[in-house]
Amino acid sequence: MSRRLAVTPENGPPWIIVMASEHDPKSPTLSRYRRKRDFLVTPEPAPSASSLSAGGNLHFVVQKHWASRLHYDFRLEHDGVLLSWAVPKGPCYDPKEKRMAIHVEDHPVEYSDFEGTIPKKQYGAGTVIVWDRGTWEPVGDPKESMNIGKLVFRLHGEKLAGLWELVRISKPGDRQNRWMLFKKRDEWARPLADFDVIKALPDSVTTHPLGLIEAREPKAGHARIRAEPELDLSAAIAAPLPAKLEPQRATPASSLPTGGDWITEAKLDGYRMLARIDRGRVRLFTSGGHDWTKKLASLAAEVESLPVSSGWLDGEIVVLRDGLPDFGALQEAISSPIQAHLIVSDRHPVGHWVCVVRQSCRSYSEVVSSIASQLKDFGDVVHNYLGEQPRCLRTRRHGKPMRSIRGHPPS
């Protein structure tokens, strides 16, 4: 599965350059998997070229693994290997349940059929069963999604179905590559109190096959997760647009919250920025009240293109380097004669918006336009941008907004 390239220099014999394919069973992609195992002892499969994916549907498998601690190995086929995460608590149909998922070494595709007992003193010693299996569909480019740390996908399994998401929460240099696995809100979402798939369906689908859940259970029969309530402005009192506004800030606390339905907000490494929109004209203010409209003229122009005639927007501007905010790069972008462009990030289910600066000459108006119609929901709570590990966290009680709605949603 390797390619050989002959290069003939002007003097001397030709060079033979061996280029390993990413689907080569001996390629670096699977080197960690091979290095951790003695295939003369463990029954786990060694990578082999004959069992590589032949194209078509992408497969997934969830293996229940009684190692030093019980966990669930969540694997997605991509690019000839199984991308793998160890999920201690296993998947859950409740979108409120965010399950820790440790990204581990890639596995060969033939591992998807593995059931058996890994001997003592071997890596991952313990019994493994195939808890679920099926096919998966990525939403967007899976390679790009893995790079930025935000992978959305749809599952078609015997126990799992619907839309799911994996979000990276580790930062560079962390000992473990930590992600979060959770269910997206759709027709398959179910409250944990009503249905715990781990407890309800504990057995192997190899010895106890169930068939696809989408064929076995009609979607209309599922208990629905209640949709987020519509914003009620019936009691709002008409008032002039404030000339100035103080951004709400996090309050220091000596300990984490105990009990209650709390969520967290990522603290981005950028500039807090307020946009005042009055009859379609935009002015940009720092959290300290300084007018930066001229300094960020291209951003102001992009905000003016949004379908909001009057109101305040509160967000953060950042420059991304390898998917992470870079404050130094942001300062360079602001001082550079090359104007940056505004991106309004995709909407988090709870509805907070984040403004992002990317240092580029390309226009992002199409990105802005595609989500501008959703701005009627702006102003409530939190957006964990790209799932990256925050430098610090701000919390607030669910149902009690951290900031009040200011201005009027577009009609």
Mean pLDDT by 10 residues, the chain (411 residues): 41 41 54 91 84 71 95 95 96 94 94 95 94 96 92 96 94 88 94 95 96 85 50 80 85 75 72 89 91 89 80 86 81 66 35 35 38 38 30 34 31 31
Condensed to tens digits (0 to 9), the pLDDT of residues 266-325 reads: 677 888 999 999 988 899 999 889 999 998 888 888 888 777 778 899 888 888 877 778
Q: Look up 267 and say whether it is catalytic.
A: yes
User: Is the pTM here over 0.85, yes or no?
Assistant: no
From the candidates 36, 96, 267, 376, give the one annotated as an active-site residue.
Answer: 267
What is residue 377's predicted lDDT score, i.e. its pLDDT? Answer: 42
263-397: which CATH topology? D-amino Acid Aminotransferase; Chain A, domain 1 (3.30.470)
The domain limits of the chain are 55-217, 263-397
Which tokens belong to 77?
A: 């086929």
Q: Which residues contact 133 (CB under 8 A, 6 or more apart)?
A: 59, 60, 61, 62, 112, 157, 158, 205
Diameter of the chain by CA atoms? Answer: 86
What is residue 59's predicted lDDT score, i.e. its pLDDT? Answer: 96
Amino acid identity at 210: L
What is residue 26's predicted lDDT score, i.e. its pLDDT? Answer: 52
